Amino acid sequence: MARLSNSENVAKIQANASAESLRTSIISEIHKAQDHITNLIQSEPSKATYAQAVKNNVRGHITTCPDPDAARRLQITVKSSNIPSDRPLHIADPFGIALAFNKAIAETVEAKDSNIISPITARSARRLKSGDFTIVLHSQNDVDTIRNNSKEWLPRLAPGAWTSIPKFDVVINGVPTSFDPSSETDVRKIEENNTEIILPYSISRARWMRHPKANFGSIIAEFRDSQSANQAIDNGLSLDHSLLSAHKLTENLTQCYKCQQYGHIAKYCKNSECCALCAGNHATKSCPSTDYHSQFCCTNCSGNHSSFDRSGPARSAEREKIDSRPANSDPHFSPYLGSTTWSEGRCD
Ligand SMILES: [Zn+2]
Ligand SMILES: [Zn+2]
Ligand SMILES: [Zn+2]
């Protein structure tokens, strides 16, 4: 080890001492907050249902996280671009961010009718180059509680803060119509029937892809982790002794019904109206054409078919373009890039 000069030694000791005293004061602050919250919870009968109570209390005391993948699964990202620039969060170091998060959660727990009933603390925090930051929590249950109740704590953290929720959408085919995707019991049954390949609570929710007309249909299951989703895709899933096939939900082709072009929907369309039948500049429903078939003109390829026609070359090219995107061409999910949705923290 390199020898340090006396003055360097002194400076180092002083720096260590001040870092240590800062650390001690932060830890004592966290402990105080935790004690306060614990007292608060004990003094009040639990608002939780039995299932919630089990979910919230069976939380392991993980203090180290040697598996970086696990750390990323337990991570939430807070988007800061809409946070007013005079907020201290913009200059806070990781400690400050973790403290602000713990404080926001503590306030949420104290609030009346909160769904967050026990204190959740940050294991670590990190600021990203973008100015956004990530917070790593202690368990999957914590992550779920934090994600599902973001509208409660985000405004307390900072007005304008957003959080990202990665999910991994898997289509499961051949599901009998007796299955109810909105039922927690039915969704848990998928996990119970497939314990060897997917984690408990790996599916956050499910829905019919389109309402089934026959005895069987396809459901979209939102997985919380990419590993379980990929296992389901590779092995299929058992349900009541039937093996169901599963695949990644890929991006749909979107076509605007106002201008007929691809890649956006009418709600966000800035183009002028274009008829899907004759390509004239009027709404499709007010097309004056009397002989559609001879006057068909596709907006996208000028062929003699309507703009909705699935066989047109422009549509096939668009389909190929979408399918060749890495996110769609790979049958598996890459670990942390699911179909991300953003949930907004309201400031009211
Ligand atoms: Zn459009
Ligand atoms: Zn027309
Ligand atoms: Zn066409």
End position of a domain, from candidates 100, 135, 166: 166
Q: Which ligand is nearest to the CA of 273?
A: 1
Q: Please, which residues have CB less than 5 A from ligand 2, an ion?
A: 275, 277-278, 280, 287
End position of a domain, from candidates 166, 189, 210: 166
The reported pLDDT for the residue numbered 61 is 32
pTM greater than 0.85 (yes/no): no
Q: What is the DSSP letter of 118?
A: S
Residues 148 and 185 in one domain: no
Residue with tokens 């769904």: 115
Angle between helices 140-148 and 50-57 (to 10 degrees): 130
**Does 105 map to a domain?**
yes
Measured between alpha carbons, how far is 209 from 122 in angstroms, rounded to an integer? 36
Q: Which ligand is nearest to the CA of 299?
A: 3
Distance from the alpha carbon of residue 279 to the mean position of ligand 1, in angstroms: 13
The DSSP-derived string for 267-296 is GG--SPP--TTT--SS-GGG---S-HHHH-
Distance from the alpha carbon of residue 270 to the mean position of ligand 3, in angstroms: 21
CATH number at residue 97: 3.30.70
Residues 63 and 162 in one domain: yes
Distance from the alpha carbon of residue 311 to the mean position of ligand 1, in angstroms: 20
End position of a domain, from candidates 198, 233, 250: 250
Q: Please, which residues have CB less than 5 A from ligand 1, an ion?
A: 256, 258-259, 269, 271
**Does 334 map to a domain?**
no
CA nearest 143: which of 59, 264, 256? 59
Strands (E), 75-179: 75-79, 124-127, 133-136, 162-165, 168-176
337 to each of 140, 167, 187, 226, 252, how far by Cα in Å? 17, 8, 23, 8, 17
Tokens of 108: 């949420």
Distance from the alpha carbon of residue 288 to the mean position of ligand 1, in angstroms: 21
Residue 137: which domain range? 56-166
Into how many domains does the chain fold? 3
The reported pLDDT for the residue numbered 346 is 24
Residues 148 and 189 in one domain: no
CATH number at residue 192: 3.30.70.330
Work out whether strand 203-208 and strand 242-244 pair parallel, antiparallel, or are unpaired.
Answer: unpaired
**Does 69 map to a domain?**
yes
**Does 30 map to a domain?**
no
Q: Which ligand is nearest to the CA of 289?
A: 2
**Does 13 map to a domain?**
no
Residues 142 and 197 in one domain: no
Q: Which ligand is nearest to the CA of 290?
A: 2
Distance from the alpha carbon of residue 277 to the mean position of ligand 1, in angstroms: 15
Residues recorded for the chain: 348
Could you list the pLDDT tens digit for every one of the 348 residues in the chain?
445 566 667 666 676 767 777 677 767 776 766 665 555 444 443 444 434 433 443 333 333 445 555 666 788 888 888 888 888 788 888 999 999 999 999 999 999 888 898 999 999 999 888 888 889 999 878 988 898 888 899 999 988 888 866 788 999 999 999 999 999 999 999 999 999 999 888 898 999 988 888 899 999 999 988 889 999 999 999 999 999 999 998 877 889 999 999 988 898 899 999 999 999 999 999 999 877 778 899 999 999 999 999 888 999 999 899 888 777 888 888 765 665 443 322 221
